Structure 1
Amino acid sequence: MVGDAFEANWLDLREPVDSESRARPLERLLTQHLRGRERLEITDLGAGTGSNLRHLAPRLTDSRGVQQHWTLLDADTALLSDVPARTRSWAQARGYTVVDQNEGLEITGRAEAPFTLDIAPRQANLQADPLPVARADLVTASALLDLVSRDWLQAFAQRLWEIGAAALIALSYDGHIAWQPQVAGDEEVMRLVNQHQRGEKTFGTALGPDGGAVAAAELEAAGFELETAQTPWRLGPSDQALQQHLHAGWAAAASETAPHRAEAIRAWLERRIDLLESGQGQVTVGHLDVLALPPG
């Protein structure tokens, strides 16, 4: 969400927490909407190393099972190049069958029911107009909406409506951070981080913490049926590595936003790291999941 948010190491650290935090009721509503289709065409935007697929694919099965074709789109070829190895390890750990297939994978397994995944990583410019999604039953993404602009979201909603796809957009940061215990500087850092989040990003002037709520409003205005859910991270001392990485990123973003406060922010970070290393320190980070379903 800040700093080196697209580092593979950061994505590894957050993947299990992301999976635990996501809104299961929205996933069940989505599965009901897709029920009865023998094959699903799914496009994952800003797919990174494939964590969204690894969480969601086993949950999109009904009692008959389903074949899923996943197209993973990202501008970062380095992250996409990690998809096959990471997804192969994930599948093999669960006893799934894995077959190499050109630049992708075919995975056969069983969760609630049997499923088959065809996985195709593809480099793509997600700023393109129209969005490079030709056909899909589902367009999904994770930790994306805080990076995009209102114009991008309006074009996204229009494209979804044109192709008749559902959307599940998970884990958009909503601007709320709560620490226990509190220390001096918490409120200032949160304010500066949120200001940084609204800066100029890859997709133009980013919506930052407002991204999830704006996406829900734009999708509803386009005609979709909307459901949202709060999906906060709840991190404790056992999440020390993730917390250290997260707090360092926050401190860097806050210092970039207010360079004259860099010394105070550095002192805040030292207090936070000291707490973590002493076995203390909890933080709740707010996120929003958004589900958009075509009517009917």
Structure 2
Amino acid sequence: MGDAFEAGWLELREPVDSESRARPLERLLYERLRDRTRLAVADLGAGTGSNLRHLAPRLADARGGVQHWTLLDADPVLLADVPGRIRTWARARGYAVVPKDAGLEVTGRAEAPFTLDIASQQSDLSADPLPVGRVDLVTGSALLDLVSREWLQAFAARLRDSGAACLIALSYDGQIAWQPQIAGDDEVMRLVNRHQRGEKTFGQALGPDGGAVAAAELESAGFTVETAQAPWRLGPGDQALQQHLHAGWAAAASEAAPHRAEAIRAWLERRMDLLESGQGQVTVGHLDVLALPPD
């Protein structure tokens, strides 16, 4: 996977992420927010803005109105890429884009006219899990497998105080299934999951348990919580993404068990050969988590 937060990787995964998200949870969220004519959204670990690009037009379909988005990330390089990515995305959809002092304004029409007021904010989420004022919705993706239980407890408390709904998508759940299977698959999955539970920016990461632990913590904080599977299903047509993904898995597995590096290298070469020959499918498990505050 290389650097999980490198812009090229985020660009590769964005279409698959959008296709894989759990639509039933999104529909529950849109129904809850349907009557809001103004909506304040905080996007955690925003990267280059993929959550906005996926959710904003769908929220507009449900309600029109004005959406104020604050994109929060610790990486200034990724945040610097946001305006260009948003302009390209918006213009491809026929939306108007106007620069503002603090970001961009995007206007368009879905079922009703809508405006997106977009600002970026460099923030250390490990120090403060929700570094914004009162918002209506908190979003994130590929996040819960990176954080610690302590971080989730602090986040749940802050979210409860804000009164916001929350949708965090695509947290890795520890399940990988390959077709065809080859020797080494089970070992690599086991080692990747061990690596996922290592020390990360947010403390001792929960790894594949992150989504389930988040659901439990949010429910304990008084939210109505729904979860749904959101697996990636990758085939030969996703060759570039699969190559990047498998290289990242091999690197993580080798870090977790350096004495197995040679065997892991052989496994990776076999996987790459399969991809080059037009074979190789993999399903990667993810969990989406929706938390709705009391009415």
Instruction: Indicate whether the TM-score tops 0.5.
Output: yes
Which letter does structure 1 place at the counterpart of 2:160? Answer: W
Q: Is the 8 A contact 2:46 2:72 kept in 1?
A: yes
1:183-235 CA distances to partner (integer Å, 9 max, x unpaired)?
Answer: 00000000000000000000000000000000000000110001111000000
Q: Are 1:294 and 2:282 matched, yes or no?
A: no
Contact kept, 8 Å, 1:137 with 1:164, in 2: the verdict is: yes
| Shift >3 Å, 4+ stretches | none
What residue number does 2:15 align with? 16
Partners of 2:2 and 2:128 lie apart in 1 by: 27
Q: Is the 8 A contact 1:70 1:119 kept in 2?
A: yes
Which residue of the partner structure matches residue 269 of structure 2? 270
* Paired residues of 1:35 and 1:62 also in contact (CA < 8 A): no
1:133 aligns with 2:132: yes
Provide structure 2 residue ranges, at least 5 long, that are not aligned to the other structure.
Answer: none
Superposed, 1:255-266 pairs within 5 Å as 255-266=254-265
Tell me how far apart the structure 1 counterparts of residues 129 and 248 of structure 2 sit (CA, whole Å).
Answer: 33
Matching residue's letter, 1:171: L
1:281 equivalent in alignment to 2:246? no
Q: Structure 1: which 5+ residue stretches go unaligned?
A: none
Partner of 1:109: 108
Give TM-score, length-normalised by structure 2.
Answer: 0.98
Matching residue's letter, 2:55: L
CA RMSD of aligned residues (A): 1.1
Shift of 1:113: 3.0
Measure the CA separation in 2 of the matches of 1:258 and 1:234.
27
State the shift of 1:66 in Å. Answer: 1.6
Contact (CA 8 Å) 1:146, 1:173: kept in 2 or not?
yes
**1:128/1:271 CA distance change after superposition, 3 Å:** same
Question: In structure 1, how many angstroms separate the alpha carbons of the residues matched to 2:25 and 2:157?
Answer: 22
Matching residue's letter, 1:208: G
| Whole-Å separation in 1 of the counterparts to 2:63 and 2:33 | 12
Kindly, what percent of the aligned residue pairs are identical? 81
SS of 1:60 mapped into structure 2 = helix
Cα distance 1:246–1:64, how it changes in 2: closer, same or farther (>3 A)? Answer: closer
C-alpha displacement of 1:133: 2.3
1:86 aligns with 2:92: no
* 1:1-296 aligned within 5 A: 3-61=2-60, 65-129=64-128, 131-296=130-295
Partner-residue secondary structure (3-state), 1:132 = coil
Contact 1:216/1:226 (8 A) holds in 2? yes
TM value normalised by structure 1 = 0.98
Please tell me whether the aligned partners of residues 75 and 126 of structure 1 are also in contact (alpha carbons under 8 angstroms): yes
Distance 2:110 2:247 in 1: 37
